[in-house]
Chains A and B, each alone.
Chain A
């Protein structure tokens, strides 16, 4: 079975641009979460979606948004990119929101120049 897949794997953007990152969860998983991992730090929670509804939001500005589609795949959008948005963006899927293992994708490495 395929694991969590994220695209693209690497991305270079210019300050002020917009970016869309994509995530396909494991088949049967209805919950998708997004995390930002800055170099040398642990992942920080951005969003969680379950059954297409937002179930949680971390401490990130409104430039960050996400959505989940009927097939449970998800997109993370970031507007007006800043240099500080450069990070590894990780997507995790799980069966439910509570107490079940989160499976992580390989991540998308975003570099803002």
Chain B
């Protein structure tokens, strides 16, 4: 079974500093990769996704991620964070289920990003 490891449970950072949230996944086969953000008491919002093609993926709110197949990683980066980026971030991989369906998402445990003024 596939698994996703988010290496940092909490990341504190000062406003306008760069940030990297790390994510590793276990599968050696082709997968789809996603980063979601969750603000308090809300659902999940998609930041970006990798399906195929360029390994550098740009998302909303200035975030980007790089797919590295050899290292099975999909780290999320932002060059300059804002207070409003304070939230929990989840990395997810799609699981190829029966019949080729890849809709099931396997999530990591999340990384809480705390941006301080």
- Chain A residues packing against B (C-beta within 8 Å): 4, 31, 33, 35, 40-45, 48, 50, 55-56, 58, 90, 92, 94, 96-99, 101-107
Q: Nearest chain B CB to A45's CB is how many angstroms away?
A: 5
Q: Of all chain A residues, which has the CB nearest B103?
A: A97
Q: Nearest chain A CB to B59's CB is how many angstroms away?
A: 11
Instruction: Report yes or no: B102 in contact with A43, Cβ–Cβ below 8 A.
Output: no
Instruction: Report yes or no: A104 in contact with B51, Cβ–Cβ below 8 A.
Output: no
Contact of A90 among B32, B44, B51 (CB under 8 A): B44
Instruction: Tell yes or no: B53 within 8 A of A by CB.
Output: no
Return 10 A-B CB contacts under 8 Å, by A number: A42-B90, A45-B104, A45-B106, A92-B44, A92-B105, A94-B103, A97-B102, A101-B46, A103-B46, A104-B36
- Chain B residues packing against A (C-beta within 8 Å): 4, 32, 36, 41-46, 49, 51, 90, 92, 94-95, 97-110
Instruction: Report yes or no: A102 in contact with B90, Cβ–Cβ below 8 A.
Output: no
Residue among A42, A56, A90, A97 facing the most chain B CB atoms (10 A cut-off) = A42
Contacts of B4 in A (CB 8 A): 42
Contact of A98 among B45, B100, B108 (CB under 8 A): B100
A-B contact count (CB 8 A): 76
Instruction: Report yes or no: A48 in contact with B49, Cβ–Cβ below 8 A.
Output: no
Contacts of A94 in B (CB 8 A): 103
Contact of A55 among B51, B92, B101 (CB under 8 A): B101
**For the complex, what is the distance from the CA of A55 to the CA of B34, rounded to whole Å?**
20
Instruction: Report yes or no: B107 in contact with A56, Cβ–Cβ below 8 A.
Output: no
Instruction: Report yes or no: B101 in contact with A56, Cβ–Cβ below 8 A.
Output: yes
Instruction: Report yes or no: A98 in contact with B103, Cβ–Cβ below 8 A.
Output: yes
Contacts of B44 in A (CB 8 A): 43, 90, 92, 104
Instruction: Report yes or no: B94 in contact with A41, Cβ–Cβ below 8 A.
Output: no
Q: Which 6 A-B pairs have the closest CB atoms?
A: A42-B107, A97-B103, A104-B43, A104-B44, A56-B97, A97-B101
Contacts of B105 in A (CB 8 A): 33, 35, 43, 45, 92, 102
Contacts of A96 in B (CB 8 A): 103
